[in-house]
Amino acid sequence: MTTDVIDAAQAGTWTLGDAVVRRVGFGAMRLPQTGPALIADAVPRDRAAIAVLRRAVELGVDHIDTAAFYFSSRLSANELINSALSAHRDELFIATKVGPARDTAGEWAAHAMTPESLRGQVEENLRQLGTDRLDLVNLRIVRDDHFAERFGALAEMRDAGLIRHLGLSNVQPRHLEIARAIAPVVCVQNPFGLGAFGEQREMLELCGELGVAFVPFYSLAGTNRERGASQQAGDAPEVLEVARAHGATPAQIRIAWTLHQGPHVLVIPGTGDLRHLAENVAAGGIRLSEDDLQLLDTAQAAG
């Protein structure tokens, strides 16, 4: 790797709402279980998950992304976070998501899309995380009917003190415009990474113009999405060349490239492996040259 120092602070910070957070965070989707994420019969890995969470904080990570619908047959990601990091709660900024929900068999529940269901989802996140106020709640869009009504319901919970900040996930520019007319939006979580489509970059650039944090998901996995990043995913010749030049892995180069897309870009790579965790955090210290970026832009255009 390019540096012997592994610290999330190397990537710099961004002010997310009223909190300054490091730009390299941690995504908890894969924590509760091995194998494909969000699959009900995958194998739980509670003890390994707790070790990863504690090590992430030791490496300087202070921004964790989670959701009540990330769970195994034993525990949710929220409960693992609460168990592992309760002593560090005041040092952390924990973002969660509501909108979709899963039943105990892992099936998505259609009723979760209604404004009325959101209060129960917020309460469940509060319970699992062991707190009386959520730092950030992102409204995840699967379908956009009653969008303004649903976001308005979250804004009411923010006004009531249950939520500090609001964000959006999986949205288009028009959703951001509607939401900002209802309440402040501090971040947008959308798919983005090396090889992203033009419309995906449009949202990144819009957020930069508005001073809204852009938090990409699937930035490592690409088209593999919930299955996670394979050894080959995104390993174009240009990526491999830059990785060799920096003594880094292709995954680290993809993280570094994403961070170079703007100071408002925050990354939340997830893993259940301590070695991959250290590599992900160390990627925040990689400084890509203009030549590196031009070469990677060639891979981006090809993607």
Q: Residue 116 to residues 14, 59, 292: CA-CA distances in angstroms?
A: 33, 39, 49
Clarify whether 70 is annotated catalytic.
yes
Show the DSSP H helices in the chain as ranges.
Answer: 46-58, 77-85, 115-129, 147-159, 173-180, 198-210, 237-246, 250-259, 274-282, 290-302
Q: What dihedral do alpha carbons 134, 140, 145, 149 form, nearest 10°? A: 10
Question: What number of other Cβ atoms are within 10 A of residue 178's Cβ?
Answer: 17
How far is residue 118 from each of residues 37, 93, 188, 234, measured CA to CA in Å?
Answer: 23, 21, 19, 36
Q: Which of 70, 93, 214, 257 is catalytic?
A: 70
Among residues 128, 6, 13, 16, the alpha carbon closest in space to that of 57 is found at: 6
State the catalytic residues. 70
